[in-house]
Amino acid sequence: MFEFQVEATSGAARSGLLTLPHGRVETPVFMPVGTQATVRTLSPRDLMTVGASLVLANTYHLHVRPGEDVVATLGGLHRFMGWDRPLLTDSGGFQVFSLDGFRRVDEDGVEFQSHVDGARRRLTPERATDIQWILGADVAMAFDHVAPGRADEPTARDALERTLRWLERCARRHRELSDGGTVGPSDRQAQSVRPSDRPTVRQTLWPILQGGTHHALRTEGLQRILEMGAWTGLAVGGLAVGEPKPAMYETLQALEPRLPAALPRYLMGVGFPEDLVAAVERGMDLFDCVAPTRNGRNGAAFTPDGPVNIRNAAHREDPRPLDSGCDCETCTTFSRGYLRHLFVAEELLGLRLLSLHNVRYLIRLAAQMRAAIRAGDLPRWAADWRRRYTQPG
């Protein structure tokens, strides 16, 4: 369980196989984001048809609504959302640090106001670990302190140091739970969780490396994480949070040779096609992003020839599919003209069909890179892909 095997490499890029309690995950892999225990507009059956192998859900959102206790009573997160393949939950760190003006941070944790009802709540490393344990995803993430992308060195160091201290607390709590400990009292209704309702949890905890775009901080942080114990995976956080894109690529590039080859590497929050390709080239394995569903709902579709805005009048009578090489339901069934009609007529099916395609696009993109890595051919593949993706339409 929680094993990872690198099966092939091409430069720094790797293809691997991650074994989790609910199934195997071939890497590189893109994880669709099911913020509120649903990948927006898509059903679990849709996710199966587009080949999703690992889905992310947001601890912060599920904590404030419906509450982890409700999820537990309804059989845990897998059963709740009807997804019996692997799941990963983030820790809520990113979300609470995004509630700028509505949160107060101290060494113990973060006090924040719920975006749903304004209620004051508190997340600590221990609570975030408890909540994720109750949700029961295959992979839980450590509760981290996220600094803005352009943070200076002292701010980034503060975030890194606190994240490391919190990581120790998360790891301790997770060990207690794995050893049969019970979760601490929840901040509202611990009574309603009947332990018998909770399925047996088999879960691993992954640390998050902070340090902004400061290479020395990243190196130091990595070393201290690795010294802390034996991990089954490692996440790189605090990127794609407002820093310039070249700075993100350089940070990954500098970090990569220092990363232990044996651990799966999860680059958090990254999912635009060009970033996915650049990050795989820099040795990253797992990715998540709301871009495919959010953009899809806005009428923006990923295609091998670059983004397409389906609302554009040019598509009015266009009989072609969105992406002629795509095997998704949207592309094998409907014309661009019909998809445009759905958006112009404000039909909900349009949001769904573009979300479905975009998720399929990123999952296929990761699978194509996997194939290129196994063929030892990623550099040429990536050059071809970039030429086509960026050429003016």
Contacts of 332 (CB under 8 A, 6+ apart): 321, 326
Query: Considering beta carbons, is residue 250 or 318 the nearer one to its own copies?
Result: 318
Would you call 46 a catalytic residue per the annotation? no
- Among positions 309-338, residues that touch its own copies (CB under 8 A) are 316-317, 319, 329, 333-335, 337-338
Number of residues that bind its own copies (CB under 8 A): 40
CA pair distance 20, 91, nearest whole angstrom: 18
Among 17-25, 66-74, 364-372, 381-389, which window interacts with its own copies (CB under 8 A)? 66-74
Query: Considering beta carbons, is residue 316 or 380 the nearer one to its own copies?
Result: 316
List the structure tokens of 135: 């949700």
**Which of 359, 363, 368 is CA-nearest to residue 295?**
359
Query: Considering beta carbons, is residue 19 or 38 the nearer one to its own copies?
Result: 38
Contacts of 175 (CB under 8 A, 6+ apart): none
List the structure tokens of 377: 């051919």
Site string for its own copies, 2-41 (x = CB under 8 A): ----------------------------------xxx-xx
Q: Which of 341, 367, 368, 371 binds its own copies (CB under 8 A)?
A: 341
Q: Does 359 bind its own copies (CB under 8 A)?
A: no
348, amino acid identity: L
Instruction: Give the count of beta carbons closer than 10 Å to the beta carbon of residue 164.
Output: 21
Instruction: Give the count of beta carbons closer than 10 Å to the beta carbon of residue 333.
Output: 11
Query: Considering beta carbons, is residue 44 or 207 the nearer one to its own copies?
Result: 44
Query: Considering beta carbons, is residue 12 or 349 the nearer one to its own copies?
Result: 349
DSSP 7: E
Q: Which of 351, 359, 363, 373 binds its own copies (CB under 8 A)?
A: 351
Strand 13-20 and strand 139-141: the pairing is unpaired
In whole angstroms, the minimum distance from the beta carbon of 99 to its own copies comes to 18
In whole angstroms, the minimum distance from the beta carbon of 337 to its own copies comes to 5
Three-state secondary structure string covering 207-232: CEECCCCCHHHHHHHHHHHHHHCCCC
CA pair distance 89, 71, nearest whole angstrom: 13
CA pair distance 358, 368, nearest whole angstrom: 15
Q: Which of 123, 177, 342, 363 binds its own copies (CB under 8 A)?
A: 342
Query: Considering beta carbons, is residue 71 or 270 the nearer one to its own copies?
Result: 71
Among 62-70, 88-96, 203-211, 224-232, which window interacts with its own copies (CB under 8 A)? 62-70
Pick left, alpha or beta for residue 229 (phi over 0 → left; psi -120 to 50 → alpha; otherwise beta). Answer: left
In whole angstroms, the minimum distance from the beta carbon of 358 to its own copies comes to 15
Residue 117 burial (C-beta neighbours within 10 Å; 0-12, 13-18, 19+): exposed
Of the listed 46, 69, 90, 275, which one is catalytic?
Answer: 90
DSSP 190: G
Query: Considering beta carbons, is residue 45 or 387 the nearer one to its own copies?
Result: 45
CA pair distance 304, 326, nearest whole angstrom: 9
**Which of 294, 323, 282 is CA-nearest to residue 28?**
282
Of the listed 69, 144, 288, 323, which one is catalytic?
Answer: 288
Would you call 288 a catalytic residue per the annotation? yes
In whole angstroms, the minimum distance from the beta carbon of 67 to its own copies comes to 9
154, amino acid identity: P
Q: Which of 9, 19, 43, 98 binds its own copies (CB under 8 A)?
A: 43
Q: Which of 19, 22, 51, 66 binds its own copies (CB under 8 A)?
A: 66
Q: Which of 345, 387, 392, 393 binds its own copies (CB under 8 A)?
A: 345
- Among positions 74-103, residues that touch its own copies (CB under 8 A) are 74-75, 79-82
- Among positions 173-212, residues that touch its own copies (CB under 8 A) are 192
CA pair distance 371, 351, nearest whole angstrom: 30
Query: Considering beta carbons, is residue 90 or 144 the nearer one to its own copies?
Result: 90
Contacts of 182 (CB under 8 A, 6+ apart): 195
CA pair distance 369, 379, nearest whole angstrom: 10
Q: Does 65 bind its own copies (CB under 8 A)?
A: yes
Note the residues at the interface with its own copies (CB under 8 A).
Answer: 36-38, 40-45, 65-66, 70, 73-75, 79-82, 192, 316-317, 319, 329, 333-335, 337-338, 340-342, 344-345, 347-349, 351-353
Q: Which residues are catalytic?
A: 90, 288
